[in-house]
Copies of this chain bind each other. A is one copy, B any other.
Amino acid sequence: MISCLDFKVDDSSKEPKCKQLEEFLLDVIREKKILVGAKLPSVSQANKHFGVSRDTVLAAYGALQQRGVVVSRPGKGFYVASRRTKTVLKILLLFDAMNQYKETLYRSLVQHLGRNYEIDIAFHYYNEKLFRSLIENNRSEYGYFVLMPHFNVDVTDAIRLLPSSRVLLLDAFPQGLGVEYAAVYQDFAEDVYVGLRSLLDKLRTYESLDVVYNGQFQFIPDSLVAGMRRFSEDFKIPLHIYRGFDFSKIEKGKCYMAISDRDLAGVIKAMWEKKFEIGRDMGLLSFDDTPLKEVLLGGVTTITTDFEWMGEQAASLIKRRKIKQIHNLSRVMLRNTI
């Protein structure tokens, strides 16, 4: 029984020994290696087996007792009382960038997780090195990692530094990572394909689909481009992708697709200057719905996912320590601009 529990304290670690033991036992109880009602190894057994002093064991057991996870019976032993480990889990949220819909996601996640979680947030802004160093430097500081690995290069090696049971991939699911990782993701290639297909009749009234993005901090996933290209080929809709688009070069008869708010504003301004009429002279699509897009130009058509729901699903996976891949479907908000 106790021999099944292989654990050694790391004396050189900065974590206190009793804390290390406590975390280990919480995992053991969560994983049902010791069932509710069963007896924990006695203090002196644990003391010898784990190679720590009796007091260290006692400190760990005492902490578990204070949490209500175990109860002590003097002269008998410590017994598991509950699996509801009311632990404060420290979570690192590693997002790509700060923007409007990210706030929706963040709030939803925080709200649905509730009080027993301590959440820190950081942004990598598509800087691969920053992403790596944030993972490396915080490996031991957090008990759980929610990662948004939006990169067109391979970062799976950095992610693999973390135990897969303590990682949730959010929004993006990099190729090369398997079912051992929990995830709530968008399948950009598929979603944009399906989204554009549902707009096919409208899109046929334009001569081409032109994707524009300008900012230095802007980023388009390769998979999104792949989905758009497949749509373009399958349905013979010409596709152009402009990185660093000169908005004054806007033309009649095209349907523009703006990536960021800044790009969207740029297209609209150019449209005004040329006195184009939206939906007739040109079309306009955008990604990720926000309150203002509902009313901008009488409603901008967007291809978007439900970030509220994404946060809720993520929170649920984290709370139940469930490893599962959830495809967060996207939908088209068909409005006025196409």
Q: Is the CB of B79 within 8 A of A14?
A: yes
A120 to B75, CA, bound (A): 25
Q: Is the CB of B269 within 8 A of A292?
A: no
A15 to B82, CA, bound (A): 16
Shortest Cβ distance from A70 into B: residue: B14
Q: Is the CB of A102 within 8 A of B98?
A: yes
Q: Is the CB of A265 within 8 A of B295?
A: yes
Answer whether residue A107 sits at the interface, using C-beta atoms and an 8 A cutoff. Answer: yes
Answer whether residue A294 sits at the interface, using C-beta atoms and an 8 A cutoff. Answer: yes
Which one of B16, B123, B264, B266 contacts A121 once the chains associate, using CB atoms below 8 Å?
Answer: B123
Answer whether residue A24 sits at the interface, using C-beta atoms and an 8 A cutoff. Answer: no
Interface size class, chain A: 35 or more
A262 to B291, CA, bound (A): 6
Shortest Cβ distance from A17 into B: residue: B76
Q: Is the CB of A82 within 8 A of B120?
A: no
Chain A interface, >50% SS class: mixed
A103 to B12, CA, bound (A): 40
* Known contacts A121-B122, A122-B121; A16 and B73 CB within 8 A of each other: yes
A15 to B79, CA, bound (A): 10
Q: Is the CB of A103 within 8 A of B97?
A: yes
Which one of B16, B103, B107, B291 contacts A76 once the chains associate, using CB atoms below 8 Å?
Answer: B16
A265 to B79, CA, bound (A): 50
A contact set with B: CB distance below 8 Å: 12-16, 37-39, 71, 73, 75-77, 79, 81-82, 97-100, 102-103, 106-107, 120-123, 137, 217, 261-262, 264-266, 268-269, 272, 290-297
A-B contacts, 16 of them at CB < 8 A, read A12-B37, A14-B73, A81-B137, A98-B103, A98-B106, A100-B261, A120-B120, A120-B122, A121-B122, A121-B123, A261-B290, A262-B291, A264-B292, A269-B295, A292-B296, A295-B297
